[in-house]
Structures are given as C-alpha cells and as structure tokens.
C-alpha cells in the first residue's frame, strides 16, 4: 500500500528588523495553527537578507536573536517547530548550485516578483547575482526539508510557481521523484496596510506597529493612522475604504458583526475617528500584552539554545535530502 507522507511546512523571515503586526496576520498566525497539524520548519533567512544588505551586514546580524525572540513570544513552540538559521545549513548552498542548472537566466529575469523587487530596491542594471537567483535559493530552502506547504502572501505566488518548474525539471532530468512540488498556503489577511495608508506595513517604510512596541508607542501610532481626510466633523459621512483603522479592526477585532455595524455607522455619519482609534488601541493592547509578558520571560541564552538545537536538527534533514539529490544525479562517488 502506497501511503501518502504527511505534509511538511517551511516558512521564514529575513532578519532585517523586528517583526510587526503585518507579519502576524500574514504568516505568524498561520504558523501557530500549522504547527499543531504538521511538521514545521521556520527559517531565519540571513543569507537571503544579505543579498541586498551585503554592505551592511550588521543590519542582519543584529536581528537574528530579535526575530527568534519574536517567534517565541507569539507562541511558536520549538518542541513543535524547528527554528533554524539559514547560513548555518551549508547543504542549502550546495543544493542551490545543482538547482541553478535547472533554469535559465531569461526565466529568472522574467519572474514578476523578482522584477518588482529589483525595481523597488533601485538595482536597475546592477543586480546582485545572489538577489536575481533568489527563486533558486528559495527552492533549495524548501526542497531540502521535503516541504510541500509554504505560507506566503499573494505577491510570492510567482516565486513558488518557478520553484515548481525547477522541481519538475530536476525530477524529469534524472528520472526520479526526489523533490516534492509545493503548494502555497495563503493567509486570510495576506497583506496589512501600513499606518500611513500608502503601502503595506513594512520595516523599511517605517509604517508598522511592531510586536515589541511599548503601549505608549502603539497608542501613538494608532492615533497617527490615516483615516478619511474629508471626515472633518463627527456628523460627516466617512469613507471606510482606505481607512487604516478599519483595516486593523478587520484583522484584530474579534466581533466581526460589530465591525460591520461600526462601518455602517461611520458611512452614515455620527462616529468619530477618535473613538474608533480608542477602540483599536484597546484591541491591540489586549492582543500585544500577552506577547510582551512572554517576551519578558525569554532570556538570550534560551534563544541561543533554541537556535542551536533547531539548526542541528535541520542540518541532518538537509544532508539526507542532499544525499538523495546527489544519488539521483549519480555524483555520490564514494
């Protein structure tokens, strides 16, 4: 009997700063659910982060423990989820080299996600090869752990499609089903807008509420949120679309029917921005306070131990996969 193996999840974050509410609704919330159902690996992607921060490595180095602490403080359980540091798994680099042969330069350059990110970073004609090869590196990261579920935002779908192209070509070339194809797992809130209302919440745009923010800073950020500029008087009808306060209430306020009622009231007029921001501040505080309490209990020695143990487990799994890959290629010489 050919029983299907249970699914494996891989996901991760670039350690270029602390994690924020956008990370929570986009991926961390899913990871908490997925770790109860599947074997899960979470990667601190320092190698990937260095592709566009190579001249400022401290930005990456100084955030390894910060990101790991964020994971632990929201409830990622190292007994259920293997947390590891990408650069410590040298097998990933070797696997990436083999997978480079499965895709041509033109296909990499046509990837819409890569094209958009190159434009955002202003690389133009001076694109680091490491950055351009990100879809190959990510394919290596995923396949090394035989992961077939990857929580992503909508903007990363094109990357996973290219990963599957690489996987299919490898399996076809060597006539062995060594690498598993990937399914994206989309969050119910794949993107959280920044507090300025201009783009998604982002560390680089400085428009996010971080999981480690103090109560005073959270309140300050909430009260600076973009709402409806034409909603001058409380009695004025207001626009819900594009109103950042409602976007965050949609994501974090538990009573969805009450949010619908508030939206109707706001559209009609008679509901002030200040009262909505007060409600949102209270909502976010109820969400963030347990995270702060957990963070206060976490020591750096504990974080280091979690990373060392998780990385050790990940190394063994990646080596097993690399051995299979080299066996399929016929280059296990002895």
At 154 the three-state DSSP class reads helix
pLDDT mean across residues, the chain: 93
Among the listed residues 291, 293, 298, 294, the one whose alpha carbon sits nearest the alpha carbon of residue 211: 291
How far apart CA 61 and CA 75 sit, in angstroms, is: 23
For 257-290, write each residue's pLDDT tens digit: 999 999 999 999 999 999 999 999 999 999 999 9
- Poorest-pLDDT segment among 50-54, 63-67, 83-87, 268-272: 50-54
Quick one: DSSP state of residue 200? B
CA distances from 282 to 195, 222, 286, 292, 308 (A): 16, 10, 6, 15, 37
Q: Are 288 and 258 in contact (CB under 8 A)?
A: no
Q: Most confidently modeled of 54-58, 106-110, 206-210, 310-314?
A: 310-314
Query: String of b and e for 47-84 (b: at least 16 CB within 10 Å)?
Result: bbbbbbbeeeeeebeebbbbbbbbbbbbbbebebbbbb
Domains located in the chain, CATH noted: 8-192+299-329 (3.40.50.620), 215-295 (1.10.240.10)
Least confident of 25-34, 82-91, 147-156, 314-323: 147-156
Measured between its terminal Cα atoms, the distance across the chain in Å is 33
Contact call for residues 102 and 140 (beta carbons, < 8 A): no
The band of 41, judged by pLDDT with boundaries at 50, 70 and 90, is very high
Q: Note the pLDDT of residue 120.
A: 77
As a whole number, mean pLDDT of residues 42-58 equals 94
User: Residue 158: is its pLDDT beyond 80?
Assistant: yes
Q: What is the mean pLDDT of residues 117-135?
A: 83
Find tokens 């070797």 and name the residue.
Answer: 94
Q: Per residue in 185-236, pLDDT tens? A: 887 666 799 999 988 888 878 899 999 999 999 999 999 999 999 999 999 9
pTM of the model: 0.91
């Amino acid at each position: 009997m050919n029983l299907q193996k249970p699914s494996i999840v891989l996901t991760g974050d670039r350690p270029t700063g602390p994690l924020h509410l956008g990370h929570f609704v986009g991926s961390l919330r899913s990871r908490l659910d997925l770790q109860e159902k599947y074997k899960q690996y979470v990667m601190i992607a320092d190698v990937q982060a260095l592709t566009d921060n190579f001249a400022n490595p401290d930005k990456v180095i100084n955030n390894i423990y910060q990101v790991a602490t964020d994971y632990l403080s929201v409830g990622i359980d190292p007994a259920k989820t293997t947390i590891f540091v990408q650069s410590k798994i040298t097998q990933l680099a070797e696997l990436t080299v083999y997978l480079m042969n499965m895709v041509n330069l033109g296909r990499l350059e046509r990837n819409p996600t890569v094209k958009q990110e190159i434009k955002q970073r202003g690389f133009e004609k001076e694109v680091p090869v490491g950055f351009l090869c990100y879809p190959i590196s990510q394919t290596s990261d995923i396949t090394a752990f035989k992961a077939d579920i990857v929580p992503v935002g909508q903007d990363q779908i094109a990357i996973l499609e290219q990963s599957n192209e690489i996987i299919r070509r490898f399996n076809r070339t060597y006539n062995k089903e060594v690498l598993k194809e990937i399914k994206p797992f989309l969050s119910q809130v794949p993107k959280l807008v920044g507090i300025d209302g201009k783009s998604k919440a982002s560390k680089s745009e400085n428009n996010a509420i971080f999981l480690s923010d103090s109560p005073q800073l959270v309140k300050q950020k909430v009260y600076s949120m973009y709402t409806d500029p034409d909603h001058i008087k409380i009695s004025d009808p207001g626009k819900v679309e594009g109103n950042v306060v409602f976007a965050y209430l949609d994501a974090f306020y538990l009573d969805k029917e009450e949010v619908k009622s508030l939206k109707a009231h706001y559209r009609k007029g008679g509901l002030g921005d200040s009262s909505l921001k007060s409600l949102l501040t209270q909502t976010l505080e109820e969400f963030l306070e347990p995270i702060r309490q957990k963070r206060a209990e976490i020591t750096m020695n504990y974080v280091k131990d979690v990373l060392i143990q998780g990385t050790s487990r990940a190394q063994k799994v990646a080596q097993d996969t690399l051995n299979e890959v080299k066996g399929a290629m016929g280059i296990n010489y002895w």
